[in-house]
Amino acid sequence: MKKKKQGHLFFSLAAVMAVPIFVLGIILIIMGKQSVSEGMSLEICKSLAGTARNTADMYNIAYPGEIRMENGRFYMGDVDLTDNYALVDRIKENTGADITIFWKDTRVLTTIKDEKGDRIVGSVLENQQIADLVFGGNEYYSSKVKIWDDSYFGYYVPLYNGDEICGMVFAGMTNESIAANVRTIVAKIVIVFLLALLIIFAIASVFARNIVDRLDKIRSYIGGLAENNFSGQMPEMVLRRNDEIGEMGRHAVEVGKTIKDLIYNDPLTGLLNRRAGRIELDKYMDRADRNKKNKVTVVLGDIDFFKNVNDQYGHECGDMVLVTISELLKKYMKDIGAAVRWGGEEFLLVYGEDREQTLADLDKLMEELRHITFTYEEYSFSVTMTFGLAEYCSGQTLDGLIKEADDLLYRGKAEGRDRIVTGV
């Protein structure tokens, strides 16, 4: 069942990664085609503009003088250019653009031919609006110039006779020739995309399998938390990741710590709570039963006259005292046992030591406590603690051991407080 779920997740992830890439690729191809078309249109505009202007300049330089029509013949200077297509043909050969020279709105020289192969000289400009713009001193460009049955990218510039506009120069390329170039470029893009898609899918498959494996480890860890198993470890391969999965793993660890704290730790002091303290003491007793060299000593401690602190300075001050003493207990119990908030101002200390060593450690703790000055608002004061100490004997019950320490604590309270009372 587990393998089936993993397989389903693997293919789902692979599909989630591959399908958007495929869709994105289609979108990019469409956009790429549009961008190529727009880019080519811009470049064609620049190219045709240059060709049209250069053509006008070349004719003015080659044939200086007045431009005119006489008896149906086209002259530039003293040269009759009627049917003289040498220069426009050479320009087309060099640039790939069709060239037309207009006298007013009529074609007198052109490289454009009809379906029979005849040049369309003598034909009139199809769009009068273009003529009006150019004869107004403007240049004109369009990607949809209609010349008979063909569409052109076309650029028109005025042809000057002195200071007056007498005609136009046209440079153009058919839309079909441009479309063929676009199709060639797009075909190359599609081929590259398909190859890239195959590579990306292969990488995505490896990546998906890697993700599934890491997620499964996170699932196992969280499953352990659900079963109150806090001994599990999040694998380093998850924690080392610098991505969302690694973050998820680290969050899972933090959640585990939080849950453990909620279950096992006192929220105010951070010490083990009563439930966790009983579990910890039971572990110590079990180890002592299995190995006679292991000793267990239990100490119950109570803050002397703690009620007076709350009554005189307030509960916030009382909480400050509890937290400070808890930090002291943590310091002294580090690596040698466990500190538990047993309830209210009462603490349980579990030592993995015998009675004599525990007594020596506890003396140091009490001495440091006596020298602590608590400051709250304008008040300064000190507190003491009373302890009852009982060493575990094999076969003794947990409750019996705690009751023994509790009885000794109350005896210490009755004898004057600020002391350690042992069973000896």
Domains of the chain, first to last? 2-180 (3.30.450.20), 228-264 (no CATH), 267-422 (3.30.70.270)
Token pair recorded at residue 359: 């007594």
For 22, other C-beta atoms within 10 Å of its C-beta total: 16
Which is more confident, 196 or 420?
A: 420
Token pair recorded at residue 28: 């990019």
Mean pLDDT score of the chain, rounded to an integer?
87
The sheet that has 67-70: what strands, in order across it? 67-70, 73-76, 79-80
By DSSP bridging, strand 420-422 and strand 385-391 are parallel
- Is residue 66 pLDDT above 50, yes or no? yes
- Is residue 3 pLDDT above 70, yes or no? no
Least confident stretch, 129-143, 167-181, 268-282, 384-398: 167-181
DSSP 207-250: HHHHHHHHHHHHHHHHHHHHTT-------HHHHT--SHHHHHHH
Residue 192 confidence (pLDDT): 79
Which residues have C-beta within 8 Å of that of residue 125, sequence separation ≥ 6?
102, 105, 106, 107, 131, 168
Q: pLDDT band at 2, cuts 50/70/90? A: very low
d(CA 185, CA 191): 10
d(CA 372, CA 382): 6
| 247 flagged as catalytic | no
The mean pLDDT value for 106-122 works out to 93
Catalytic member of 126, 236, 345, 378:
345
Q: How many CA atoms lie within 13 A of 62 on its CB side?
A: 14
For 354, other C-beta atoms within 10 Å of its C-beta total: 14
Least confident stretch, 18-22, 312-316, 330-334, 372-376: 18-22
Q: What angle do CA 40, 46, 50 make, to 5 degrees?
A: 140
d(CA 195, CA 204): 14
Q: pLDDT band at 1, cuts 50/70/90? A: very low
- Is residue 27 pLDDT above 80, yes or no? no
What predicted TM-score, i.e. pTM, was given to this entire model? 0.50
The mean pLDDT value for 46-73 works out to 93
